[in-house]
Chain A
Amino acid sequence: MLKYILRRIILSIPVLLGVSIVSFMIISLAPGDFLDSYRLNPAVDAEQVKLLEKNFGLDKSPVVQYFLWLKNMLQGEWGQSFTYQVPVWDLIWRRVGATLLLSITTFIFTWGIGIPLGIYAALHQYSLGDQIVAVIGFIGLSIPNFFFALLFLFFAAKTGGKYFPVGGYISLDYDSFPVWKKFLDIVWHVLGPMITLGTSGLAGTMRIMRGQLLDELKQDYVEFARAKGMPENVVIYKHALRNAINPIITALGFSISGLLGGAVLTENVFGWPGMGQLIIEALLQQDIFVIMADIMLASVLLVVGNLIADILLAAVDPRVRLRLG
């Protein structure tokens, strides 16, 4: 197993390197750079702009810039944000927490509700419950995240923020709260973005789970186990479910990507200070190092997510473990 993980990690290095090249290329394609506003500003003289260009390394060709960036990054030096004049790492570190918090809670929400509902729907195929779940699933799948977020805020604002806060990460008087209340405050604030992000994933998880379990229940081994006189619960939960959950775990890796992507819009609407907000700001300001760090980090999360998914898969499905060997 260790050997497998190691191999996967080594294999992901060229991919991440490729990601960095592609991202840098895209950013270099953009016309102009961060200093454009200074150049247009008559109050800033040309000498000063030249000096800044030199400091930021903007006077060199994109290829040289890329290798400089790569060299620095490998040494743990992620560069400075042009806009905020602080090391990129400091800027991102604060945001990663918020994004991870959102992703993890959303993930728990999606799986915690989606899988049981999917199982229920499969076991009660064509019943009223199944149909209701299907309708909810389709609505969840079709409602755009940012529209749902707007509706959510609309509701929160109409009720005067009684049930849900009107956006944000923490309350205004957060600093004065005792520790337990701080925790509750964050949980209260994460509910909105979590439900918004979760609904679309929920529908997918539910539908896949239902389909898979139905497929497994039609298999010969299920019939065999029943014929043998095995209790129905054992047949379903110990044998069929274990095989049916397999593709859901594969979807885990993708769902992390979906969460990060969907989060850009949801964070924007809810004013959630995560990485999605940061990257939009950085892109508009052409703050190269922040964008690069943001994309790299997101890609690492994606790669790690896929790795975790594969490891989980091996742990759950005995047939997969053999193939890994």
Chain B
Amino acid sequence: MAEEIKNEQQQQDVFEKQFLSTPQLVWRALKRHKFGLVAMWILLILYIFALFADFLSPMDYRVQHIQFKYAPPMKVFWKDETGKLAGPHVYLYKRVKDPVTFQSTYKEATYFDNFKVYDDFSGVETTLKVGEYNPDYESTVTNYQFVLSYNTIAVTNDGKEYNILTESKTEPLVTFEELGIKDKIINKNEEGFLNIDQIPLLKGENVLLSVEDRGIASTFYFEENYKTKSNLERYNLKPEDIKEFRKYVSLDVIEVETEDDFYEFYPENILGVNLKKFNLKFFTKGWEYKWLGFIPGNIHLFGVEKSKLPYFAEDYASKDGIIYLWGADKFGRDMISRLLFGSRVSLTIGLLGIAITFTIGLMLGGVAGYFGGWIDEILMRFTEILMSIPSFYLLVSLSAILPSELSPSIKYILIIVILSFIGWPGMTRVIRGMTLGLKETEFIQAAVALGYPSRKIIWKHLLPNTATYVIVSATLSIPGYILGEAGLSFLGLGIREPSASWGLMLSQAQNITALTNYPWLLLPGLFIFITVLAFNLFGDAIRDALDPRALGH
């Protein structure tokens, strides 16, 4: 039985070898390489992503949002503040500065989108929504602000508490933490508004913000930086009398601006609020682009709507909906979008570079090998000279002589030319070596004897015989071009801002502070790694697949 199966297998093999075409055989051999196949699919996906970068990018890769610089990756929330499933949504950030170290961090901030208030003056209950027309006031709500007071309570050694108003601030928004509802789920009332009773700050109560517990340092800090000194003197308190400080915040008033008027609401007049969430939507309208340079469009695979929040909400000037799923760079540009557009440069530079290098290499190598003599001598001496300069030195020198005011597309082409200039000597040497050997074979001798012109012999007979080597070596040398461009851009000698390439993006991660605080800046490096690895694996598989022994010839 086993013998029979084996026999059948052998017969099938023989059949396939006889009746399958070469591409079919190559494909069959390639399929045996699991890693190679996976690498091929990864590369295909990466190239498709690069092609549709405009459609896939949620934000414009060139537009800076300096207020969101180094913004961390946004969290996607599925449940709303009441704990119910609400579809994927994100919240905008609020930048929070540590008062002592001055280091800023981002918090997911909860902007109030709309709220229901009771107007004591006219006696009406009305719902205000930013950016929307309000029928009661016959005007559009444009802006709102919260006036908050920050209070400090100084507790003395004998347990007495002294209230000191430290400052009054007009704050744009509140975070869950500041509301004192960090881990609490808030209920909604009948009209769908959040229940005010559960948000003490909006009810007009004091909300404990943070307990200052910095030991001795806090005493000095309060004395020197806050306007507390006079207050402390008024109470006749000395720093050594004070055991601790406690910090409270309370809401004084909400100021609402409409197109032609201005209203103030006190906490007791607020009946309900709603928090602004930004729903993640698919096929959403966003920034405008021209696909492939001429097809205009503004549809994106995913994104959030442009916010109608007032000017202090920080994304006011943006035409994009703010969404940073993988964080933002030094200028507040979206990493995903820049990675996608950067891939256009990083992925094509290898292909174009290879095309140029191989044209030169095949031509010069073929000519040198076929004719030999002084042509060979001159060409080979020149390649030797170029090979005697360490390639990266040559690369850096060549790109350093480019004037800096070139347009991005010209710069891109010149970088490819330079990379090919570095690559051709090695290629030429190998092709020459192969032609030297092939020249002596009988079929070439026959072609010569038949009086074929040299041009025809080189193109039609010699070079096609190097095809296997050329294909393999092309796939395996593409990573070199990708790395070359990445290295140049990393040094600031390649693609320039505001264009994107993976190397250029990675150059922002050069200093230690950026590295440790904003590790998402390393993402482009990961992409370079994946691409280069995929090309190496795929090249390896192709080499095996094109090996005549694997094809069974």
User: B536 near A260 (CB under 8 angstroms)?
Assistant: no
User: A257 near B522 (CB under 8 angstroms)?
Assistant: no
B400: shortest Cβ distance to chain A, in Å? 4
User: B515 near A157 (CB under 8 angstroms)?
Assistant: yes
User: B384 near A142 (CB under 8 angstroms)?
Assistant: no
A-side contacts of B516, CB under 8 Å: 154, 157-158
User: A269 near B487 (CB under 8 angstroms)?
Assistant: no
State the CA gap A150–B514 with chains docked (Å): 11
| Given A150-B525, A157-B512; A18-B396 close (CB under 8 Å) | no
B-side contacts of A167, CB under 8 Å: 512
Question: Which one of A58-66, A69-77, A276-284 is at the interface?
Answer: A276-284
- Which chain A residues (256-312) contact chain B, with CB distance < 8 Å? 257, 260-262, 264-265, 268-269, 276, 279-280, 283-284, 291, 294-295, 298-299, 302-303
State the CA gap A257–B393 with chains docked (Å): 10
State the CA gap A166–B516 with chains docked (Å): 12
Residues of A in contact, count (CB < 8 Å): 49
Interface size range of chain B in the complex: 35 or more
B-side contacts of A145, CB under 8 Å: 487
Chain A facing B: main interface SS = helix
> Can you report 26 A-B residue pairs in the complex whose CB atoms are below 8 A from each other?
A16-B388, A18-B381, A18-B388, A19-B389, A27-B401, A31-B403, A139-B533, A141-B536, A142-B479, A144-B486, A144-B525, A145-B487, A147-B522, A150-B515, A153-B512, A154-B516, A154-B522, A157-B515, A257-B391, A260-B392, A261-B390, A264-B396, A279-B393, A291-B397, A299-B388, A302-B390
State the CA gap A147–B530 with chains docked (Å): 12
- Which chain B residues (355-395) contact chain A, with CB distance < 8 Å? 381-382, 384-386, 388-395
User: B525 near A147 (CB under 8 angstroms)?
Assistant: yes
Interface residues of A (CB under 8 A from B): 14-16, 18-19, 22-23, 26-27, 29-31, 138-139, 141-147, 150-151, 153-154, 157-158, 166-167, 257, 260-262, 264-265, 268-269, 276, 279-280, 283-284, 291, 294-295, 298-299, 302-303
Does any Cβ of A come within 8 Å of B546's Cβ? Answer: no
State the CA gap A261–B396 with chains docked (Å): 10
- Contact partner of B384 (CB less than 8 A), chosen from A15, A141, A257, A283, is A15
A-side contacts of B388, CB under 8 Å: 15-16, 18-19, 299, 302-303
A-side contacts of B389, CB under 8 Å: 19, 22-23, 295, 298-299, 302
State the CA gap A277–B29 with chains docked (Å): 46
- Contact partner of A295 (CB less than 8 A), chosen from B397, B515, B525, is B397
A-side contacts of B487, CB under 8 Å: 144-146, 264-265
B372: shortest Cβ distance to chain A, in Å? 20
- Which chain B residues (470-496) contact chain A, with CB distance < 8 Å? 479, 483, 486-487, 490-491
User: B390 near A257 (CB under 8 angstroms)?
Assistant: yes
User: B509 near A150 (CB under 8 angstroms)?
Assistant: yes
